[in-house]
Amino acid sequence: MSDIKRWAKALTESADSYKKYVGSWEEKIGSFLQFDPEAAQADSSGQGLLAVIPFGVKDNIAVKGFNMTCGSKILENFDCPYTATAVENLQKAGAVPVGKMNMDEFGMGSSTDNSALAETHNPWDTSRVAGGSSGGSAAAVAAGQVPFALGSDTGGSVRQPASFCGVYGLKPTYGTVSRYGLTAYASSLETIGVCAETAGLTRDVFKAMRGKDIMDNTTVEYKPSGKDDVETVAVLKAGEGDLNVDVLRSYKTSIARLKDLGYKTVEVELPTLKYVVPAYYVIATAEASANLARFNGIRYGLAAQGAETPSALMEETRHSGFGDEVKLRILLGTYVLRSGFQDQFYHRAQKIRTAILNDFNRIFESADALMMPVFPTAAFRHGSSDLTQLQQKAADLYTCSANLAGLPALAVPSTIEEGLPVGVQFMAPAFEEERLFRIAEKLEAVFPAQKPEGYSQEWKA
């Protein structure tokens, strides 16, 4: 019986020991905001490639039967009346959503510490963060609570926690997976993505959930070139000033492994890389300022009491409902769109977006895929002692470029450095996810992902 089929026991013959196993990890890492294997079981087809396989869903993705809090007080008790298309597609393939995963409020953060509702810790070292914003999703997969969990990747929010926790993390090509049901943070940048325990499962989940959707007008036909095999991998040049010692060591190991596996490598640079973080934050916050305007205490969610005017109702609801990081980004986004400032910020950022796209196109003219670091550090400690919020943002440079360009990227577990996993990411032209899976599988066959202490599959026996 393949390993994925054994997961079907979690909701059938081994249900009790499964729940016990999930519970024992929950005390240590707090990856779930809600865990309820029965809540939506009836909505799954019960048959298909992923029949009765449990999975987690980041709490900014709609699943009927569960709440959708987005890690925010403003939606703390919001009982979601509908289901996201991507989740529905997985339910058709038989998979069962068993819970909602903790996250940085509205996806804004790199640590999951910005959740207003719960704390999540890294399964490898609970004094450290699981990464973010899909920290709950990555932590749960790393701990073996679920074989896979959906996340959302706006600037690296699937790949960075996947790397921090030692699991696979896919950000698909923009427009291939419907965003219908994904609470919008930055609409033109983000996609639903997946954290999974193996490269093969990442592929299966991606195939099951993707598809053109009438409910999301930005979804497109899936049209890969058909050239799935990778011969040449471009490797982004990175040195001491770019990565910390542990990550640089790991990155060098990854390059060596690629060569060992017979890939032709070529070192490249991305001239635009130094501008991507500001461009990313300008576009992301601008879109967020509009996307988060709908939370105003009138139709659902938190509502301030005793307000005497509609304006007061909206202002007070938003004042008490949003956390600091969300307010900061709404203010920034509002500011960069104000008349008089648009050219300087928003329009310029979009031109930089074109420049990074051109950079990638140039690289893919002579390489089938591109390897880059995921993040300059491994999982950092809670709080700001390792990295301030501002430093955390600056560290998004390797991940957010894929979002600006709409390209697929896969974070792959690579080495363990000082007891912490470090991943590396591969990027490919649009629709060429298969190339990423093939590289990952080749690496996986020789260097399988390692597991944190306490990880067990005994409950499946």
Partner 1 sequence: MDKNELFKTAALAKLKLDDEEADKLAAEVSAMLDNFSAMMEADVEGLEPTTQTLQKENRTRSDSTGSSNLSNQLLDRVPEREDRFIVIPNVM
Partner 2 sequence: MKYQSFVGLEIHIQLITETKVFCSCPNNFGDEPNTNVCPVCMGYPGALPSLNEEAVFKALKVSRALNCHINEKAVFERKNYFYPDMPKNYQISQFEFPFGINGYFDLELDDGSVKRIRIHDVHLEEDAGKMIHDAYQSRLDYNRAGTPLLEIVTEPDLLDGREAELFVQQFRQLVRYLEVTDGNMEEGSLRCDANTSINLPGKGLGTKTEVKNLNSSRFVNKALTYEIKRHAKVLDKGDTIVQETRLWDEGSSTTRSMRSKEDSHDYRYFPEPDLPPFRPDAALMARVEEAMIELPNDRKKRYEAELKLTSDQAVFITAEKNTADWFEAVLAAGADASQTAAWLSGDIQKILNKEGKSIEQSPFTPERIKELFDLINSNRISNNIGKDVLQAIFDEDRDPSAIVKEKGLEQVSDTGAVEKVVEEVLAAHRAVVDAIRAGEDKQIGFLMGQLMKATGGKVNPQLAREMIVNKIKRSE
> DSSP string spanning 41-58?
GGGS-S-STTTT-EEEEE
What is d(CA 68, CA 200) in angstroms, rounded to the nearest whole number? 29
- Residue 254 within binding range of partner 2, rule CB under 8 A: no
Helix (H, G, I), strand (E, B) or coil at 317: helix
Query: What is the per-residue binding string for partner 2 in 158-197, x denoting contact by CB under 8 A?
Result: ---------------------xxxxxx-xxx---------
Among 225, 232, 311, 320, binds partner 2 (CB under 8 A): 311
Looking from the CA of 103 toward its CB, the CA atoms found within 13 Å total 35
Residue 95 touches which of partner 2, partner 1, none (Cβ within 5-8 Å per kind): none
Query: What is the per-residue binding string for partner 2 in 74-93, x denoting contact by CB under 8 A?
Result: -x--x--xx-x---------
Nearest residue (CB) to partner 1, 181 versus 423 = 181
Nearest residue (CB) to partner 2, 68 versus 90 = 68
Catalytic residues: 58, 133, 157
40, 41, 42, 45 alpha-carbon torsion, rounded to 10°: 120
* Residues from 42 through 81 that contact partner 2 (CB under 8 A): 60-62, 68, 70, 75, 78, 81
In one-letter notation, the amino acid at residue 263 is Y
> How many Å separate Cα 250 from the centre of its chain?
21
Nearest residue (CB) to partner 2, 113 versus 287 = 287
Residue written as token pair 């925010």: 72
* Residues from 344 through 373 that contact partner 1 (CB under 8 A): 344-345, 347-355, 357
Structural tokens at position 161: 């926690």
Contact 131, 87 (CB under 8 A): no
What is d(CA 411, CA 195) in angstroms, rounded to the nearest whole number? 9
Residue 357 touches which of partner 2, partner 1, none (Cβ within 5-8 Å per kind): partner 1
Among 335, 362, 382, 455, binds partner 1 (CB under 8 A): 335
Residue 202 touches which of partner 1, partner 2, none (Cβ within 5-8 Å per kind): none
What is d(CA 251, CA 254) in angstroms, rounded to the nearest whole number? 5
Question: Which residues, in sequence order, are CB contacts of 114 under 8 Å at separation 6+?
Answer: 71, 104, 105, 108, 132, 133, 323, 325, 326
- Residue 83 within binding range of partner 1, rule CB under 8 A: no
CB atoms within 10 A of CB 262: 8
Task: List strand residue ranges (DSSP E) for 42-135, in order.
Answer: 54-58, 96-101
8 backbone dihedrals φ, ψ, rounded to 5°: -60, -25
What is d(CA 116, CA 337) in angstroms, rounded to the nearest whole number? 27
Nearest residue (CB) to partner 1, 220 versus 416 = 220
Nearest residue (CB) to partner 1, 269 versus 324 = 324
Among 287, 396, 432, 434, binds partner 2 (CB under 8 A): 287
Among 15, 117, 261, 290, binds partner 2 (CB under 8 A): 290
What are the b/e assignments for 270-288, b being 16+ CB within 10 Å?
bebbebbbebbbbbbbbbb
- Residue 310 within binding range of partner 2, rule CB under 8 A: yes
In one-letter notation, the amino acid at residue 424 is V
* Residues from 184 through 203 that contact partner 1 (CB under 8 A): 188
Residue 184 touches which of partner 1, partner 2, none (Cβ within 5-8 Å per kind): partner 2
* Residues from 250 through 309 that contact partner 1 (CB under 8 A): 272, 274-275, 277-279, 281-282, 289, 293, 296-301, 303, 307-309
Residues lying near partner 2 in the complex (CB under 8 A): 60-62, 68, 70, 75, 78, 81-82, 84, 179-184, 186-188, 214-218, 286-287, 289-290, 293-296, 298-300, 310-311, 314, 334, 337-339, 342, 346
